[in-house]
A and B are shown apart, each in its own frame.
Chain A
Amino acid sequence: MHRNPSRPMSPHLTIWKWGPHMLVSILHRVTGTGLAILGAGCFVWWLAAASTGEESYAYFVSWATWKWALIVPVGLSWALFQHTLSGLRHFVLDIGAGYELQTNKTWSIMTMVGALLLTAALWAFIYWRAAA
């Protein structure tokens, strides 16, 4: 299948006015790609290190808990929450519900607010446990 370059292209991202539904769609793809590459990579590293022995596990932990790299676990947990919540939104859209303009906008915003709240709650819990 060849694309005919003389045919017009859909205007795509550059021309539309940004809205929450558009942002949440892009976020779903960005977080999904990030989780698939960085998230799965770290997950495989964690398992491989645990199966290799105490030394390689300690090496993994030294990276995973390094304070200057904390953006990675925090970012990955946010990405997972965002992708999960917008994924749940997609399940609703897949059955044909939630396309009314206001409903669609509301739930788009809710996935983003929810992801931030869940990330904050998770790390508050982790810090509270570490301090206790």
Chain B
Amino acid sequence: MTMETPLSQVRGLGASGEGAKHWGLERATAASSLILLVWLGVSLLRLPDLSYLTVTSWMRSTLVAVPMLLLIFSVFWHLKSGLQVIVEDYVHEEGSKLLWIMVINFLSVFGAAIALFAVLRIAFAGTPA
């Protein structure tokens, strides 16, 4: 027996029984991605050029590498949530829905891992000769 009213028991759950947290995280990562992408865009436009030397020596600094790592976390989390919503809305068969969500999860984690590793590799590589 619960003392909660029927309305408060279902509030925030929706037809699938879950999703309020997913919805919130999609908004939170949208906000953080917006801030970090504005930072990235402005920074790239302020660089004298986008040559190999300019970009790698720029990314070696802590104040660039750390926001880049955060941006990768934020953007890949957001795109994973977003693609999942697309699949949930347009794939109606439970089996293929599950399969597609798994593919999305694997590929977004894979992409994020490559990007994170690349930034760390540049940051830790030291000044090139």
Q: Which residues of A contact B (CB under 8 A)?
A: 1-3, 29, 32-33, 35-36, 40-41, 43-44, 47-48, 50-51, 54, 57-58, 61, 80, 84, 87-88, 91, 94, 125
Contact = CB atoms under 8 A, between A and B. Distances in A.
Given A41-B111, A80-B37, A47 B45 contact: no
Contacts of B4: none
- Chain B interface size, as a band, is 20 to 34
Contacts of B83: 32-33, 36
Interface in B71-127: 75-76, 79, 82-83, 86, 92, 94, 108, 111, 114-115, 117-119, 121-122, 125
Given A33-B83, A36-B79, A84 B52 contact: no
Interface of B is mostly: helix
Nearest to A47: B118
